[in-house]
Amino acid sequence: MAQDEQGSDRGAALAAFFVLFNEIGILAQLSAAMFEARMPPGHLTSQFALLNHLIRVRDGRTPLELARAFQVPKTTMTHTIALLEKRGHIAVRPNPEDGRSKQVWLTDAGRAFREQALAAMAPDIMELAAAFPPEKAAALLPGLTELRKLLDERRDG
């Protein structure tokens, strides 16, 4: 019966993570839909997230660094970068320190667009914040970040 309990614990652990990941998947879906509803047609969350990253972390990153940051395949990042470059929101230049590589820089237009998109979304977020205090959102973050880092490590190791 120690075995049974162990088996039961196992099942419970599995179930807990499945439910959690399922909820996370749906939330990703919903939040992306909310953002895209406020952006001009053709502007996707993946692109907006990239602009945000270049501001928050700093621009000049290489495509590979960006792919790793978002945990998407290199080819996907190549595609996203090409779209944003065509749109004039970023500039891609050779990496002076590595001939194989490139660097991604924000343009003024990119910064402006990001500001504008941010402003367009603010009302929705504030409405959400009225029902779900930002402190509560912040409280969720450490656990999620820890989980993300564990998954990150597992992927490489």
Closest CB 2 distance from DNA, rounded Å: 40
> Closest CB to a copy of itself among 64 and 129?
129
Distance separating alpha carbons of residues 83 and 60, to the nearest angstrom? 17
Distance separating alpha carbons of residues 91 and 109, to the nearest angstrom? 10
Q: In 3D, which of 89, 44, 99, 39 has the Cα closest to residue 70?
A: 44
Write down the H helix ranges in the chain. 2-37, 45-56, 63-70, 74-87, 108-131, 134-156
> Closest CB to a copy of itself among 98 and 146?
146
Task: Work out what residue 98 binds among DNA, a copy of itself, none; the CB cut-off runs from 5 to 8 Å by kind.
Answer: DNA
Closest CB 70 distance from a copy of itself, rounded Å: 6
Q: Site mask, a copy of itself, residues 26-45, x = CB under 8 A? A: xxxxxxxxxx---------x
Q: Site mask, DNA, residues 74-93, x = CB under 7 A? A: xxx-xxxx-x--------x-
44's torsion region: left (phi>0), alpha (psi -120 to 50) or beta?
beta
Query: With binding defined as CB under 8 A, does residue 139 bind a copy of itself?
Result: yes
